[in-house]
Amino acid sequence: MLDNKNFFSEDVTRREFIKQGILGLMGTGIALSGLDMLFGKDVFAAFDADPAEKIGRMYFRKLGKTGLKISEIGMNGGILKDPSVLSFAMDAGLNYIETGPEYSQGEAERTLGKVLKLRREEIIVATKWKVFEEYRVKELETSLNDSLKRLNTDYIDIIQVWGTRRKTQVNHEPIFEAFQKLKEQGKVRHLGITVHMNVVELCDEIIANGQYEQMTVAYHYDNHEEIDPVLIKAAQNDIGFVAQFIDSGMEKISGPHKGTSRGVLEWMLKNKYLTSAIDYMNTIAEVDELLQVPRIIRQ
């Protein structure tokens, strides 16, 4: 059962939340007359439900067709240097981290591996494949096996195609062959992809491809009106959507925490169609502040 009782604060009533959601959709160019085509007759009722489930101290949302439940706030592990920061975050309920073999020449994966060695079953890990059109299955297998060694684990929850720029990367056939082979070996569970540029075009291609279960997208206040229709489309196709590089335009978001990562997260997590937002957290103090946001917006 979802716990909806405390989702809205005194400052954001159910009626105001519905209104804001509708205005946000209008801002993307979706006319009200078209909403029924997107969501059916229950479009307004949909805004009145908490998209997350509270477990312990954290709220979790389903990551699309993977079926995984991940914390509403995850960690961008690209510059992770201190394993104790991640351990503290996990104690506070965070269970999702994204990393990659290219980050800090592999040191980010090695740092994460120090935690996984002791707490593997408590966290969902995504790492990456760099994919060029000339890459074949062998290169992708080698990359994943090297990541497994650095991460001190025998399986990856999500392998992501890293920073796609072209449709040919999205549709590169060796990706799917390598993924299926490695999945059968028990080394990887789900296939994801990340997009930082040409976002609308590439996300549409990802959705049309049908083989990706999750996407991590550069999504923030400055580009959300353009990308919101794609986010909604991903949700309709049961593809998990994780926001990355979320701080652009933070100074434009109103509220007492304007211009801060906390303010960004308070704004972003009101989006029903988003699965999670990941951010850099380099200190225990940052973790302590940011991981309280899911609870605060529901008071």
Active site residues: 103
SS3 content of the chain, % helix, strand, coil (to 5): 45, 20, 35
How many whole angstroms separate alpha carbon 241 and alpha carbon 275? 5
Q: List the structure tokens of 240.
A: 């998990």
User: Do the Cβ atoms of 223 and 248 come closer than 8 Å?
Assistant: yes
How many whole angstroms separate alpha carbon 23 and alpha carbon 42? 17
Amino acid letter at 205?
E
Which of 247, 197, 196, 186 shows the shortest CA–CA distance to 222? 247
Strands 58-62 and 53-55: antiparallel
Residue 49 phi, psi dihedral angles, 5° rounding:
-120, 140
Amino acid letter at 129?
W
